[in-house]
Amino acid sequence: MPEGKNPNWRVWALAAALALCLLLALAVGSVSIAPGEVAARCFDALRGRARGDALDRIILDARLPRVLLAAAVGSALALAGLAAQNLFRNPLAGPHVIGVSSGAALGAVAAMLFAGAAGWAVAFWSMAGGLAVGAAVFFLARTGRQWGYSLLLAGIALGTLCSALTTGALYIAGERLQTIIFWLMGGFWRANWSEARVMLPLAVAAAVALRLMAPAMNVAVLGERSAEDTGVNVRRLQFGLLAVAVVPTSVAVSLAGVIGFVGLIAPHMVRLIIGNDHRALVPGCAFAGALLLAGADAVARTAAAPAEIPVGLITAILGAPLFLWLLLRRAGEGRR
């Protein structure tokens, strides 16, 4: 909703924080590079004057695609979370609630286990799994009269089924168990330019699509009926929100595994900073999601170097306490 104070500068502040975070993420690693040097090299490359030396290769070929992929996945997950929370008018919803992450994970695990798939084939089957669950949830929910409600229930049911099947697959995985579990924990160690080139435009498209829905999302908090009476085409909005919650998430899981909590946490953090106006929340979430995951990935690859901590572990370990804190804060507000 529109706030009395202008939230625009807060969005720009988030954008600035993201830029700083990306710069630092590019600077840290096995070779430390001065952030100023990183910035200069990036600008040179943008102007087509890359120097092509060893430092350039580290920054532009090794680190940049990974940092950008992490940022894009973070954005996509945060936007998906915002879309899901508005769709279900439930602050605890996230992309996982519609079962998409579970479907994508099942697709990937099944492909690795039964078809011996690797690389892009895993990504493909993971995406197919996520989209299949998203589509199934959508068509199951169409039969219900209370659309948002039946969507939530169908999502939880299918998500639980997929998780159970994944666990079953792990049970019979034998010697592949470690590979699969490592994949499931999520991470960007395989990141390369071709993956970043898929994920970046998708995250931008999701942000633009969701920003176009923002005015209707503001009205949607009044409830389905009131939103309709106020001129919102509720079905179209819900379909759009579902698409933003499903498509980028499926692709993100296929490229980076299951990364928890970003989709749930980022929208809440941004609400605390920016307020409830979706016109500012959408860009805010895009920036904050990118900031969180690019930051978490930088920690993941440097904290225990040369070993790498799965980034899903970092987001969950940092995310869960943060989430509990938000929850307690909410409960405290409820009592007042």
Partner 1 sequence: MTALQARGVHFRYGPGRPVLQGVDLDVERGRIVGLFGANGSGKSTLLRCLNNSLRPQAGEALIDGRPAGGMSRREIARRVAVVPQHTPDDLPLRVEDMVLLGRYPHGTLWGETTEDDRAVVEESLRRAEAVELRGRRFDQLSGGERQRVVVARALAQGADILLLDEPATHLDIAHQLSLLRLLRTLADQGCAILLVSHDILVAPGRVDRAVLLADGRVAAAGEAVVALSPENLRRAFGAALAVSWSADGGVTLTPSAQGGG
Rounded least distance, CB 266 to partner 1, Å: 19
Burial class (CB in 10 A: 0-12, 13-18, 19+), 171: exposed
| Cβ distance to partner 1 smaller for residue 66 or 279 | 279
Torsion sign over Cα 33, 20, 291, 202: negative
Q: Does 327 bind partner 1 (CB under 8 A)?
A: no
Q: In 10 A of CB 266, how many CB atoms? A: 30
Q: In 10 A of CB 103, how many CB atoms? A: 34
Count of H helices and E strands in the chain? Answer: 14, 0
Residue 323 makes CB contacts below 8 A (sequence gap 6+) with: 261, 264, 265, 268
Q: Are 203 and 79 in contact (CB under 8 A)?
A: yes
Q: Rounded CA gap, 316 and 260, in Å?
A: 6
Among 48-56, 112-120, 159-167, 210-218, the segment contacting partner 1 (CB under 8 A): 210-218
| Cβ distance to partner 1 smaller for residue 11 or 219 | 219
Q: Rounded CA gap, 211 and 79, in Å?
A: 10
Q: Does 335 bind partner 1 (CB under 8 A)?
A: no
Binding residues for partner 1, rule CB under 8 A, total 26
Q: Are 317 and 299 in contact (CB under 8 A)?
A: no
Q: Does 1 bind partner 1 (CB under 8 A)?
A: yes
Structure tokens at 148: 């948002």
Answer for which of 17, 121, 157, 222 binds partner 1 (CB under 8 A) is 222
Interaction pattern, residues 225-264, with partner 1; x per rule: CB under 8 A: xx-xxxxxx-------------------------------
Interaction pattern, residues 71-100, with partner 1; x per rule: CB under 8 A: ------------------------------
| Cβ distance to partner 1 smaller for residue 113 or 207 | 207
| Cβ distance to partner 1 smaller for residue 269 or 316 | 269
Q: Kindly identify the residues of this chain, within the stretch 259-288, that bind partner 1 according to CB under 8 A.
A: 276-277, 279
Rounded least distance, CB 254 to partner 1, Å: 31
Rounded least distance, CB 253 to partner 1, Å: 30
Q: In 10 A of CB 199, how many CB atoms? A: 25
The residues that touch partner 1, with contacts defined as CB under 8 A, are 1-4, 145, 211-212, 214-216, 218-219, 221-223, 225-226, 228-233, 276-277, 279
